[in-house]
């Protein structure tokens, strides 16, 4: 079963706008990660945020984590056509557990 | 450096057959994980190997098995294939473990069972 639920399931925005997607999870975690997947291909690691961090930036990406609400958000600023992809959050099973549990994903479409 | 290489890219098998998928991790990476991705169930963890030992296992039937060789290359095997095994199988590697540093994924093997 999937621990993470992502919201929205699909999002379409104009190029240049910001995109925000949210992830909720159920159990305690050490770290939370975000991945991108272009259609039918492998996943690309975007960013990892540790449970003791509240916010992290990487280029045009900003991730927040609220462990009290068991939720995270991914913000992509100044979107580009190349950002069109599915985005997944992934949580670990705690220290020493290498199993990643993925969310259901958000399908992002950037309209040129 | 070369990424994670999965072979073959596409595979068509008949129900009841068995299949072996291969994964070559990034050079120096010792942790290799396998995931199954289907439209209905999404991404699900199969197992993870580190230095030839299975460290973690997902909730899949015993028909799904794997192994890791001394050079960190990994294979997964599915016996007695069922139609529901049709999926994209993804391999991911990490130096020590991806939950602390992130995984590098291969492009996947798309298995179709007919």
Q: List, in order, residues 6 or more apart from B22 with CB less than 8 Å away.
A: B6, B7, B73, B74, B75
CA separation for the pair B61, B3 (Å, rounded): 30
- A17–chain B nearest CA distance, Å: 28
Interval A9-45: pLDDT, tens: 999 999 999 999 999 999 888 899 999 999 878 999 9
Q: Is the pLDDT of residue A6 over 90?
A: no
Q: Are strands B109-113 and B10-13 parallel, antiparallel or unpaired?
A: parallel
φ/ψ of residue B83, rounded to 5: -55, -35
- B78–chain A nearest CA distance, Å: 20
- B50–chain A nearest CA distance, Å: 10
CA separation for the pair A105, B110 (Å, rounded): 19
Do A31 and B105 lie within an 8 Å CB cutoff? no
Do A45 and B102 lie within an 8 Å CB cutoff? yes
A44-66 CB burial, b ≥16 within 10 A, e <16? ebbbbbeeeeeebeeeebbbbbe
Neighbours of B114 (CB within 10 A): 9
Banded model confidence at residue B1, pLDDT cuts 50, 70, 90:
low
Interval B69-96: pLDDT, tens: 999 999 999 999 999 999 999 999 998 8
Do A42 and B107 lie within an 8 Å CB cutoff? yes
Contact predicate A92/A28, CB 8 Å? no
Q: List, in order, residues 6 or more apart from B62 with CB less than 8 Å away.
A: none
Which chain A residues are within 8 Å of B4, Cβ to Cβ?
42
Do A98 and B55 lie within an 8 Å CB cutoff? yes
Do A33 and B102 lie within an 8 Å CB cutoff? yes
Neighbours of B62 (CB within 10 A): 6
């Amino acid at each position: 079963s999937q621990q993470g639920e992502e919201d929205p399931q699909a999002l379409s925005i104009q190029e240049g706008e910001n995109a925000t997607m949210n992830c909720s999870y159920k159990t305690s975690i050490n770290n939370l990660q975000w991945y991108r997947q272009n259609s039918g291909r492998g996943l690309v690691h975007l960013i990892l945020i540790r449970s003791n961090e509240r916010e992290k930036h990487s280029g045009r990406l900003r991730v927040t984590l609220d462990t009290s609400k068991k939720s995270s958000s991914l913000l992509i600023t100044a979107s580009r056509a190349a950002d069109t992809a599915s985005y997944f959050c992934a949580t670990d099973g705690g220290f020493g557990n290498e199993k990643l549990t993925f969310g259901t994903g958000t399908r992002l479409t950037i309209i040129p | 450096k070369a990424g994670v290489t999965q072979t073959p890219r596409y595979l068509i098998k008949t129900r009841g057959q068995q299949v072996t998928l291969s994964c070559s991790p990034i050079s120096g990476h010792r942790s290799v994980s396998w995931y199954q991705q289907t439209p209905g169930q999404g991404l699900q963890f199969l197992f993870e190997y580190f230095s030839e030992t299975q460290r973690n296992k997902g909730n899949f039937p015993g028909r799904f098995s794997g192994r890791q060789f001394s050079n960190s290359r990994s294979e997964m095997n599915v016996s007695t294939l069922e139609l529901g095994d049709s999926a994209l199988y993804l391999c991911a590697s990490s130096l020590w473990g991806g939950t602390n540093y992130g995984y590098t994924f291969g492009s996947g093997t798309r298995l179709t069972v007919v």
